Amino acid sequence: MRAAALRARPRLARARDVATESASARDLRRTILAFVVIGAIVFNFLLCFVNTNVLRTSAGVVMLAEVALIGAAFLVSLRDSFDLLAIIAVFLAYMLFLGALQGSFDPKPARDILIPFVFYFAALRVADPRMGDRIVYVSIAIVLAVGLFEYAFLKQYTKLFDIIGYYVSRGTVQTGASELSEDRLFASGMRYEGRTLLPFLGEHRVSSVFLEPVSVGNFGAICFAWIVLRHWGRPLAMALRLMPVVAIFVLADARFGLAVSLLSLIVFPLARFVGRPLVAMAPFALVLALAAVGFLYPDTAWDNTTRGRLLLSGQMLSNMSPAEVFAFVRTDRFVSDSGYVYTLVKIGLVGFAATWLLYVLVPARSDAAWRFRVFVAAYICLLLTISNSIYSIKTAALVWFLMGALDAAPAAPLFRGADAAMGAGARRTRKRRAPLMRAAR
């Protein structure tokens, strides 16, 4: 027995060293991923400060920042990721095929689809729901703190962060629009017709670190749904943790984001009755419904209300040619006001259908993971009706990270290998002692 124990010691030591090294590597990857997800939320805010106070940025600088964030998340997910590499290879080949048909390759649609895959798989490898909690609460604190500073000290804020000037530098807004802007906010940073949520707060819509209010609403919807999911059955704890998110909605006057977030209170209890076929058909049914509206009201004027934006999306869909639906031809006109039109002309019906089916068919690890997936499906389907902001890394990194964290396997015990070796040694010892005990009897 003593000799067997002595022989087992080196194996136990090696198992502990391997387990400790593996745990350390996992912790490092978790830390990197946490900084990347937070970085995706705040990097435009930091670049805006640099552009205002240090040196002018450009579209190339923004692109390099996004490449760095996506690349870091990709490195985190690289271990045991043959499935991720295969998906990326097939999709890039498809995008190159579309580029050949269109006569030029546009990297932005490829980047739009890389973000979900990379951040989902990165979280799937190293994250868990508790890590998701920490990132959500830290990001809420950052967004709310900056938002309160922006609202309370707007003149000082715009001196430090010239938002419209930053968008001119990166090529998103024309120089003429910057010259006409007196408040130096994004075009939707003021609601001159009057805000909906607490009108006495004035026309200013807080943009916080996102620099524009639309992403604030998207961020709030994601965080609201996550908190509801994680505290389902504990209404008091849920209400307390939702208060900062509601404050963010109010400061940004994010009507659509608030409406979508409240949908989570309906989706979560009903998700168990929602099958995969229904989720799979949802966006395509919405496309057909919007296109029908566009055909029925082709010349009706639209406005900036939700109803008007839906009408505009339907009119844009109804005017698409078959070649545009499949992204066989290049489209240079502005299509960002309809996420579905943007998706079809940039990725094509085949590419969109393939990626959506992957989203639907990937197994959910738990009931909570499926509930959140059904909510995100509703969030995507509804947001695509009025905007292509679903593809913005500012909020896309967070939502796909949270999806992966819910589908991730529980973390392995620190000394799983050592414990297995100890168990094997104990079994061998028991087997050797058994004959001696029978002989003694």
Whether residue 312 is contained in a domain is answered as yes
Examine the domain organization and report whether 298 and 233 are in the same domain.
no
Burial, 272: exposed, middle or buried (Cβ in 10 Å; 0-12, 13-18, 19+)?
exposed
CA atoms of 87 and 301, how far apart (whole Å): 42
User: Of the candidates 271, 301, 330, which is a domain's last residue?
Assistant: 271
Whether residue 101 is contained in a domain is answered as no
Secondary structure (3-state) at 204:
strand
Residue type, 409: A
Is 428 within 8 Å of 33 (Cβ atoms)?
A: no
User: Of the candidates 238, 271, 304, which is a domain's last residue?
Assistant: 271
Spatial CA neighbour of 207 closest among 257, 132, 135: 257
Q: Report the pLDDT value the prediction gives residue 175, as an integer from 0 to 100.
A: 67
Examine the domain organization and report whether 214 and 286 are in the same domain.
no
CA atoms of 61 and 51, how far apart (whole Å): 11
Examine the domain organization and report whether 294 and 267 are in the same domain.
no
Contacts of 360 (CB under 8 A, 6+ apart): 276, 279, 280, 377
Q: Could you report the per-residue pLDDT of 380-390, keeping only the tens digit for each?
A: 999 999 989 99
Burial, 101: exposed, middle or buried (Cβ in 10 Å; 0-12, 13-18, 19+)?
middle
Torsion sign, CA atoms 149, 151, 157, 163: positive
Examine the domain organization and report whether 290 and 260 are in the same domain.
no
Q: Report the pLDDT value the prediction gives residue 183, as an integer from 0 to 100.
A: 74
Q: How far is CA 270 from the centre of its chain?
A: 23
CA atoms of 97 and 429, how far apart (whole Å): 63
Two tokens, residue 264: 């989570």
Q: What is the DSSP letter of 69?
A: H
Examine the domain organization and report whether 255 and 368 are in the same domain.
no
Two tokens, residue 241: 């943790």
- For residue 39, CA distances in Å to 31, 33, 58, 70 come to 12, 9, 18, 11
Secondary structure (3-state) at 211:
coil
Q: What is the DSSP letter of 58?
A: -
Is 106 within 8 Å of 331 (Cβ atoms)?
A: no
Q: Could you report the per-residue pLDDT of 281-305, keeping only the tens digit for each?
A: 999 999 999 999 999 998 888 887 7
Examine the domain organization and report whether 161 and 57 are in the same domain.
yes
Examine the domain organization and report whether 289 and 226 are in the same domain.
no
Whether residue 54 is contained in a domain is answered as yes
Query: Predicted confidence band at 24 (pLDDT cuts at 50, 70, 90)?
Result: confident
The answer on pLDDT for 21 being more than 80 is: no
In this structure, the number of other CB atoms found within 10 A of the CB of residue 398 comes to 24
Whether residue 355 is contained in a domain is answered as yes
Examine the domain organization and report whether 67 and 157 are in the same domain.
yes
The answer on pLDDT for 400 being more than 80 is: yes
Query: Predicted confidence band at 176 (pLDDT cuts at 50, 70, 90)?
Result: low
Q: How far is CA 39 from the centre of its chain?
A: 13
Q: Report the pLDDT value the prediction gives residue 181, as an integer from 0 to 100.
A: 62
User: Of the candidates 271, 294, 324, which is a domain's last residue?
Assistant: 271
Structural domain that includes position 383: 274-408
Domain total for the chain?
2
The answer on pLDDT for 430 being more than 60 is: no
Examine the domain organization and report whether 247 and 300 are in the same domain.
no
Examine the domain organization and report whether 313 and 218 are in the same domain.
no
Q: What mean pLDDT do residues 174-191 have?
A: 72
Whether residue 417 is contained in a domain is answered as no
Examine the domain organization and report whether 256 and 132 are in the same domain.
yes
Q: What percent of the chain has pLDDT over 90?
A: 66
Q: Report the pLDDT value the prediction gives residue 39, as an integer from 0 to 100.
A: 97
Q: Could you report the per-residue pLDDT of 29-44, keeping only the tens digit for each?
A: 999 999 999 999 999 9
CA atoms of 92 and 123, how far apart (whole Å): 22
Is 369 within 8 Å of 268 (Cβ atoms)?
A: no
CA atoms of 400 and 46, how far apart (whole Å): 23
In this structure, the number of other CB atoms found within 10 A of the CB of residue 72 comes to 17
Place of tokens 């078959």: 322
Examine the domain organization and report whether 259 and 293 are in the same domain.
no
